[in-house]
Amino acid sequence: MRRPVPRNLTVLAVSAAVVVSVGAAAPPPAAQSAGGEKSPLAVGYGGAVSSVDPDASAAGIEVLRKGGNAVDAAVATAAALGVTEPYSAGIGGGGYFVYYDAKSRTVRTIDGRETAPLSADKDLFLENGKPLAFADAVSSGLSVGTPGTPATWQTALDQWGSKRLASVLKPAERLARDGFTVDETFRSQTASNEARFRYFPDTADLFLPGGQLPVVGSTFKNPDLARTYAELGHKGVDAIYRGRLGRDIVDTVNKPPVDPGSGWNARPGDLTAKDLAAYRTKLQAPTRTSYRGLGVYSMAPSSSGGTTVGEALNILERTDLSKASKAKYLHRFIEASRIAFADRGRWVGDPAFEDVPTKELLSQRFADSRECLIKDDAVLTSPVAPGDPRDPARCGSGDKAAPTTYEGDSTTHLTVADKWGNVVAYTLTIEQTGGSGITVPGRGFILNNELTDFSFAPANPAVHDPNLPGPGKRPRSSISPTIVLDRHHQPVVALGSPGGATIITTVLQTLTGFVDRGLPLVDAIAAPRASQRNAAQTELEPGLDSDVRKQLEAIGHSFKANPEIGAATGVQRLPGGKWLAAAETVRRGGGSAMVVRPVR
């Protein structure tokens, strides 16, 4: 029997006490200005923006203050993140956009995932019959998919926005031209990529000024990107998909501009003008899962985020997590994640190429057939074999499990709400930190390495792998931008995170912390994370209570350290037109939550 939505989550019952509780968990809102100090919490009116960066959040707030809606502000924030978070996102990548329309009270999504060249086949990453080493594939033209981010921005504005692209790009254009202040996160991410950035002279010239790492506190300018944004604003995204800018991308992918003295074999790709001209975003219905009386909406395939988070929530539906001990809560969360990842690996791929049983994966009947595998006094042995959602058998398993493919964790997420009640949860990426490492000469942005999200070869030749490369195919993603509605189809909370495959577990843990455990949103985001992806060990951040860890290890859990999992942001709707924006308190140097008119 399903429990009703917890009373404290119904919008009409959210009291001032909730705001006080959240406010006690984090510093008060910072001044709402570009370049100001980061604050993980803001409460107020007129709309809200939450991202990892104060300049980016300020760009979105600027658009909201000028009368733009949530979609306009989301594009402005994303473009600014392309300046300040260039190793995580930008016009050389792709992403997934989830939108709640307050007027119709419906959720819609845009699949802006990158696509493989039309010449690609299942042997894309094979060399002499063997899979390439991952590092060799990443920093090459082979890894670059057709970018989907510019098309996503234009699609979103055309469908639901109120401003023109040129208008919402202005804050980011100004930021790229005038510069932003380098922080420790930007410097450390540059340092971790320094060796491969030096393979590519254009990347080194831009991100290693004077041949050195950028200095914390210095101003970093990107005039090439400012000019690129100005060109996009003037000519539209056809500049990429049918114009000179697109030809520059094609030339860079097919003949990566590598330093001959580096000795690096930057394998060429096979991207063509035809690939760019053929690219289309996909407007599609979201996934929907009912959980504790709430409607949980997210991305359908090609992302596995919506189906995997949804299946795990359905598995957890039978357990009253609000009354469970912390150890039992984490045990159930870990085991549900383990099972859902087993089914993800077997069944989810690009639905244009694969028969993905999305409806069946999200059925409560299938979840119940898998939930019975979980025992409170023992741990499932990984890898768990997948079940068959088309013909669920109680505690049944089917084919041999496939290992979870690696996905780069340097993605970024933003969440926006406006004064009319519209909401956007948008996750965008260039895949791993620094993407392919290849900067388009004179254009100021790095190209993605999203095609390495494909399986390089089948994990089990006897079982079909839905995530092998193919012509024009979208690689499977874990991106999970999520919007939760109450029974009146009004927003309760929206959130998402970067982190590769850990995105799914981050969103799942944050949601259950907020909905079931009663944590204020900023605390649910800050809580120490675990991530189980059908592996022998569960990744665990520092900070988990040692007694709880010992209890989990006593029944068979095995952990390995991960210093940082994800970097979530979210917004929560409060009574009377008020919004709460929340971000990380520590991860990635802390996030930036802002509102148009703050109140304390």
For residue 430, the tally of other CB atoms under 10 A from its CB is 35
The catalytically annotated residue of 411, 439, 502, 506 is 411
Q: Angle between the 165-178 and 70-84 helix axes, to the nearest 10 degrees?
A: 30
Mean of pLDDT values over 351-357: 97
**pLDDT(406) > 90:** no
Mean of pLDDT values over 348-362: 98
Q: Does 558 fall in a domain?
A: no
pLDDT band at 29 (very low <50, low <70, confident <90, very high): very low
C-alpha 366/C-alpha 373 separation (Å) is: 12
More confident residue, 340 or 6: 340
In the chain, the number of structural domains is 1
The DSSP secondary structure of 130-172, one letter per residue, reads EEPPHHHHHSSGGGPPBP-HHHHHHHHHHHH-SS-HHHHHHHH
C-alpha 319/C-alpha 495 separation (Å) is: 23
**pLDDT(12) > 50:** no
Q: Does 373 fall in a domain?
A: no
Identity of residue 199 = Y
CA distances from 263 to 246, 266, 434 (A): 28, 9, 20
Cβ–Cβ under 8 Å, residues 331 and 507 = no
pLDDT in the model for residue 67: 98
Q: Does 156 fall in a domain?
A: yes
In this structure, what DSSP letter does residue 175 have? Answer: H
pLDDT in the model for residue 460: 78
**pLDDT(465) > 90:** yes
Q: Does 125 fall in a domain?
A: yes
Q: Does 420 fall in a domain?
A: yes
C-alpha 235/C-alpha 91 separation (Å) is: 15
Question: pLDDT per residue over 467-486, tens digit each?
Answer: 999 999 999 999 999 999 99
For residue 220, the tally of other CB atoms under 10 A from its CB is 21
pLDDT in the model for residue 403: 59
Instruction: Look at strands 294-298 and 41-51 and give their pairing.
Output: unpaired
Cβ–Cβ under 8 Å, residues 533 and 502 = yes
pLDDT band at 13 (very low <50, low <70, confident <90, very high): very low
pLDDT in the model for residue 31: 32
Cβ–Cβ under 8 Å, residues 121 and 468 = no
Q: Angle between the 305-316 and 326-347 helix axes, to the nearest 10 degrees?
A: 140
Residue 548, SS3 per DSSP: helix
**CATH number for the domain harbouring residue 39:** 3.60.20.40
Contacts of 458 (CB under 8 A, 6+ apart): 464, 465, 468
In this structure, what DSSP letter does residue 570 have? Answer: E
pLDDT in the model for residue 104: 98
pLDDT band at 14 (very low <50, low <70, confident <90, very high): very low
For residue 34, the tally of other CB atoms under 10 A from its CB is 19
Among 461-465, 488-492, 515-519, 563-567, the range scoring the smallest mean pLDDT is 461-465
**Sequence-ordered alpha helix ranges (H) in 500-597:** 502-515, 521-526, 546-554
CA distances from 538 to 304, 326, 435, 500, 587 (A): 20, 16, 26, 15, 19
pLDDT in the model for residue 4: 43
Q: Is 411 known to be catalytic?
A: yes
**pLDDT(15) > 80:** no
Question: pLDDT per residue over 177-225, tens digit each?
Answer: 999 999 999 999 999 999 999 999 999 999 999 999 999 999 999 999 9
For residue 249, give its domain range: 7-283+412-522+566-598
pLDDT in the model for residue 395: 83
C-alpha 94/C-alpha 314 separation (Å) is: 29
Q: Does 367 fall in a domain?
A: no
Mean of pLDDT values over 526-554: 95
Q: Does 323 fall in a domain?
A: no
pLDDT band at 66 (very low <50, low <70, confident <90, very high): very high
CA distances from 287 to 31, 284, 302, 570 (A): 37, 9, 12, 19
Mean pLDDT of the chain: 92
Q: Does 530 fall in a domain?
A: no
Which residue in the block uniquely carries the two structure tokens 């959040």?
Answer: 57
Angle CA(577)–CA(582)–CA(584) in degrees, nearest 5? 175
C-alpha 347/C-alpha 337 separation (Å) is: 15
